[in-house]
Structure 1
Amino acid sequence: MADESGLEHHLADLAASGQRFAVPATAERIRARGDRLRRRKQAAAASGGVVLTAALAVGVLSLVRLGPGPAPAAVKPAASSTSRFVPPVPAPGEEYAGEIGYVYGAVLLEGDTVQVTVEQLRTGVVHKVTAPTHTPVEVKHLAGGKPGDMRLGELVGRLSAGPRWVFAVDYDGEGRIQSLREAFWLSVERDGQR
């Protein structure tokens, strides 16, 4: 029986040594997996912090204008209810967007504003817009062939008739007319008038 008990003792020692070597390996794998998870979480938190900081910076810059903005216009352009006209929007990095068309039918309104009809050259879309009388206008043929700067209020009489003069109309980002520039190279005779 001593042999049997010796064998049992020997087997018990072997099992105990196996457990000592097996348990630390399992514990080591669990510890390594935990370390990997912790490093991933730290990396995600760090990159998330960078992304969050960048998003906040972009958001703040888009909400806050750098420097003073343009003064609000007294009157916004009023498109007719049946018009397909949508004021052009400046391209990124551009201050103004424009359209080229016949400007006519000028009428002086109350509140120092002028309403004009614009017929786009490319599309033929006709719409009405209003602008302050002090809106700058670059002219040449309309002023008798002498290039110069005038104000829209000074040209109401000359622009009150039908389509005759072609202008480039500049709009700001909010759809307000900022200036008109006579496109004298495009001004053409209509109905034998000039």
Structure 2
Amino acid sequence: MAEETSLDERLADLATGGRQAAVPLAAEQIRARGDRRRRRKRAARASGGVLLVAAVVVGGLSLVRPGQDRAPTAADPNPSASASLFVPPTPAQGEEYASELGYVYDAVALDGGRVRVTVQQLRDEKGTGVPTGVVHSLTLPAVTPVEVEHLSGGKPGDLRLEDVVDRLRAGPQWVFALDYDGEGRVQSLREAHWLSVE
């Protein structure tokens, strides 16, 4: 009787071993793959967290680093403190141009058919131009189209930027809408005669 029990146990062991050899242990393989995936995710999260902390620390250090007040360069003797705040507007979906409102002044004709102007940005609040605090300079082709009305003595017309340099030499007086294309280039200036200014 003991021999029969022993024989039954051996046959059961052989059958189990044969089944395991013939059919892969799907559940064990799935579990092992899941464990590997979880380990990779944990490692990725840990390394991503370390990179984020390092980026924050380096960025913070660059903001508080001494010696940020540099002398003005020879090319720009009067740099604007807010020049870095300027971002060229981008056209909305389906639009060809995006406009920036602002005083255009301090025009200077440069060699090579270019004109440098200063722009003091305004925002339109119910038909009134309100300064945003952003001042930047642009160097434009002298042939940039300019639509004028008051600047030309009340006669609406189309001129080129080189034709109005003398009138835009002084300080902030004339407000224009500057039309930017999708690549951040000014395509034209339009006198904002419809806008009253604070």
Of 10, 32, 52 in structure 2, the residue corresponding to residue 16 of structure 1 is 10
- Give the SS at the match of 2:112: coil
Query: Aligned residue for 2:88?
Result: 88
Work out the percentage of aligned pairs sharing the same amino acid. 50
Of 168, 171, 184 in structure 1, the residue corresponding to residue 180 of structure 2 is 171
1:24, distance to aligned residue in structure 2 (A): 4.1
Q: Which runs of no fewer than 5 residues in structure 2 stay unpaired? A: 35-75, 123-130
Of 137, 141, 145 in structure 2, the residue corresponding to residue 136 of structure 1 is 145
Query: Aligned residue for 2:162?
Result: 153
1:84, distance to aligned residue in structure 2 (A): 0.9
Aligned alpha-carbon RMSD (Å): 3.5
Greater CA radius of gyration, 1 or 2? 1
1:92, distance to aligned residue in structure 2 (A): 6.3
CA deviation digits over 1:159-193, x for unaligned, max 9?
223322110123345554332111111256x9xxx
Distance 1:151 1:84, change over 3 A: same
How far apart, CA to CA, are the structure 2 residues paired with 1:9 and 1:104?
110
CA deviation digits over 1:36-59, x for unaligned, max 9?
58x99xxxxxxxxxxxxxxxxxxx
TM-score, length-scaled by structure 1: 0.57
1:8, distance to aligned residue in structure 2 (A): 4.3
Query: Aligned residue for 1:100?
Result: 101
Distance 1:179 1:102, change over 3 A: same
TM-score, length-scaled by structure 2: 0.56
How far apart, CA to CA, are the structure 2 residues paired with 1:31 and 1:166?
78
The answer to whether the 8 Å contact 1:80/1:127 transfers is no
How far apart, CA to CA, are the structure 2 residues paired with 1:181 and 1:140?
9
- Give the SS at the match of 1:16: helix
Aligned length: 145
How far apart, CA to CA, are the structure 2 residues paired with 1:176 and 1:14?
89
Amino acid at match of 1:84: S
- The correspondence of residues 50-65 of structure 1 with structure 2, limited to 5 A, is none
How far apart, CA to CA, are the structure 2 residues paired with 1:183 and 1:100?
8
Q: Which runs of no fewer than 5 residues in structure 1 stay unpaired? A: 1-6, 41-77
Query: Aligned residue for 2:118?
Result: 117
